[in-house]
Amino acid sequence: MKNKLLYVILLLVISLYNAISADTPLPEPTQRPDASYRLFRTTNIWTFIKLDTRDGRMWQVQYAVQSNNRGSVILNEQPLIDSKNRISGRFTLYPTSNLFNFILLDQVDGRTWQVQWSVEDSLRAVIQIK
């Protein structure tokens, strides 16, 4: 009887641990805030956003098991500031509750943009929030 009780308690502890760890998001890797480029995780396990922290340019980067699904596409190729104002760490991304959207912040002057990534070209956008 005592062994059965211990067995049931052990199963409950293992089940609880698995439930908690399944809901716990992966921690973000340590990155230098002043780096010229940073990668930001999206909700899609295959997709990241690469940000040029100096001028706000971004790319959607996708890795894959099969090489034909691997690559990157431009989210915005135009710098958001003049070249004389470029400094590492100026721009950063903040995730939102929407799976496909981030907020891009210019940490020097406070301007913000909505960044929408997608596997479909027509659904990608970078729109200034005024």
- Please give the Cα distance from 60 to 34 (Å, whole number): 21
65: confidence class by pLDDT, cuts 50, 70, 90: confident
- 3 vs 79, more confident: 79
- Please give the Cα distance from 11 to 62 (Å, whole number): 39
Query: For the ranges 39-53, 59-73, 78-92, which has the lowest average pLDDT?
Result: 59-73
80: confidence class by pLDDT, cuts 50, 70, 90: very high
pTM of the model as a whole: 0.76
For residue 8, the model assigns a pLDDT of: 62
- Run of H or E residues at 98: none
Supply 51's token pair: 């940000």
| Mean pLDDT computed over 104-115 | 97
On whether the CB atoms of residues 77 and 58 are closer than 8 A, the answer is: no
For residue 14, the model assigns a pLDDT of: 67
DSSP-derived letter for residue 85 is G
